[in-house]
Amino acid sequence: MEGGSTSSSPKSSETRKKRIRKKTSKMNDTLSLSPNAKIQSTAISLIGCIFFLYMYGLTSSVLSLPDIRLDQGLLFSMNKKHAMNIFNENQDDDLEAAEEDNENADDKETNAVVDDKLGVPDSTWPVTSTNKEKDKWITLPHPGEASMSVTLPPFWSKPIHNNKLMTREQAMRVGTCIEPDENGNFQRGDKCPLHQRTIFVAIASYRDWQCKHTVTSIFHRAKYPERIRVAVVDQIVDGDDICDEPIHETCKTMPDQDICKYHSQIDVYTMDAPLAVGPVFARHIGHRQYRGEYYTMQSDAHVTFTQDWDVDIIEQQEATGDEMTVLTTYLTDIVDSIDEKTGKSLRHTRPIMCNTDYEGGPQGKHLRHLSQPERMPPPDLKMPQLQPWWAAGFSFSRGHFVVNVPYDFYQPMIFQGEEMSIGIRGYTIGYDYYAPQRSVCFHHYASLNPDRNKVPHFWENSSIYAGTGKKAMARLLGIVHMNPETPRTFWGHEEEDMYGIGGVRSPEKFYETFGIDVVAKKTEKKLCQFVEAGQMHRQFIPKLRPDGMGIDYTNISYKYKYRGG
């Protein structure tokens, strides 16, 4: 099978035996300290009772070990075609090796040559597939089940913000041009012509037959497909459609298909679907596939693009004059949105992200986005429009966004909440969110497409990873200061320097500005009144820093309050 793969294996039976022997030895040591040796008959009886209770407890302990569960049979059945040898007889110490790798992750997470002055790695074009560099991949415990391991490509770079606002010089160092300058340098900053700037597209797909249609659309409707690199995390089972396979026949019989022509620009990481623990982990892997492209785009796996979308979205990005721009929104449905003959959009409206409220659930009360208003942009703005929130279904930015705000490895089984995590972390690092002025792609929603109702979802794995989501949500909320009622000891603090907040703005500044009470768990109503007609944009845009490095919120004292109406 073409495309990337990962290997994953729980601890071997020998490793489990070691754990049991360790428990037994510890209990025997405890028994040997009994002071009742003077009364041997009583001691023998006592030891006999203790031994019976011990054996009962040991049996219960063994059955409760995380890698001994009824659902494990599902993992046994995964097909070797996807390189998922869960129980590898040749790797008895797999987990121990993974833990060692984790301890040394700082040394192994990146492999590029770094500019000592700016802290930004070198990059070139075209990019070598991460699947051809598996000798550099690292092994880590699976985020949803520590008795398994996953092998992942290293990040191109650690975050470069260093808890302060990036300099413009740093920002310009990130991003490749398809042609180098006279010195052979592909990292040409804003001297790179717009049509030569590379685009990294990250797609997380869970058993989605439309994924290959999305990839085809990306290349087919781009004006300059040669500057695009698509990275897919394809979570599948045997028999599912594969994201980098052509729609019609094969590349041998029909080589002119877009997936065939641009196959070297498609980087696929294949994961057996039972290992999937939600979009956060899948998109985390996608961020690991980034290799220094000028722009980065995140898209769902069931999206259709408009003609010349690449030129359009870059023009919109650059129109803001804000290096920290992230164009992001919930996408409009595909129905009646694109002229199939020309590929052009039929719509003049677009959604804007402003409608958010608290909801409860098994993982606790948290903010989530609701349906978003869709309207024509205010005619006086002539550019994308400032908004408070970030959306996962479509995001377009400079490449340094995924470097500075990578998806958190330690958030398994999270669905509602990922957008708060990335959005607020990005805000604290200095990024600004804008609604695109024009939509360049449209979404295939299940409610209007019966075939999409047949697509499975990752929560079919819920019984395998039961209980992991609650602590993950506590970590997610804790990092962005959204659950002050939860003791910090309740959630893990692994690699917060990598997956935490920045030092440009505080989460509290965000909550004060946009009317969010994280203690009472409520929001000021109708924030969209302030956002969608352009009031937020007109008040905040004048605070854009002179060098274009983001909105300066230290000069913004506005606090949204609902005043009725």
- What is the rounded CA–CA span in Å between residue 259 and residue 54? 61
Which pLDDT score, from 0 to 100, does residue 459 have?
57
* Helix (H/G/I), strand (E/B), else coil: 250: coil
- What is the rounded CA–CA span in Å between residue 450 and residue 257? 27
Which pLDDT score, from 0 to 100, does residue 101 have?
47
Which pLDDT score, from 0 to 100, does residue 371 have?
94
Which pLDDT score, from 0 to 100, does residue 309 have?
99
Which pLDDT score, from 0 to 100, does residue 363 have?
60
Q: What angle do CA 337, 338, 341 make, to 5 degrees?
A: 155
Which pLDDT score, from 0 to 100, does residue 362 have?
62
Q: Which long-range contacts (CB under 8 A, 24 or more apart) does 132-137 make?
A: 136/108, 136/111
Which helix (H) or strand (E) is 297 found in, with range?
A: strand 295-299
Q: What angle do CA 204, 74, 142 make, to 5 degrees?
A: 50
Q: Read off φ and ψ for residue 248, nearest 5 degrees.
A: -115, 125
The per-residue pLDDT string of the chain (565 residues; one tens digit each, 9 = 90 and over) reads: 333 444 333 333 333 234 323 433 332 333 233 333 333 444 444 444 444 444 444 434 333 333 323 334 444 334 333 434 333 334 444 445 444 544 555 555 665 667 668 899 999 999 999 999 999 999 999 999 999 999 999 999 999 999 999 999 999 999 999 999 999 999 999 999 999 999 999 999 999 999 999 999 999 999 999 999 999 999 999 999 999 999 998 999 999 999 999 999 999 999 999 999 999 999 999 999 999 999 999 999 999 999 999 999 999 999 999 999 999 999 999 999 999 999 999 999 999 999 999 987 666 688 999 999 999 999 999 999 999 999 999 999 999 999 999 999 999 988 778 999 999 999 999 999 999 999 999 999 876 667 766 767 765 777 889 888 889 999 999 999 999 999 999 999 999 999 999 999 999 999 999 999 999 999 999 999 999 999 999 999 999 999 999 999 999 999 999 987 6
Structure token pair of residue 38: 């003077």
* Helix (H/G/I), strand (E/B), else coil: 230: strand
Which helix (H) or strand (E) is 43 found in, with range?
A: helix 40-64
Which pLDDT score, from 0 to 100, does residue 415 have?
77
Q: What angle do CA 254, 257, 261 make, to 5 degrees?
A: 105
Structure token pair of residue 395: 């995001």
How many Cα atoms sit within 13 Å of 550 on the Cβ side?
A: 26
Which helix (H) or strand (E) is 218 found in, with range?
A: helix 211-220
- What is the rounded CA–CA span in Å between residue 96 and residue 79? 24
Which pLDDT score, from 0 to 100, does residue 116 have?
61
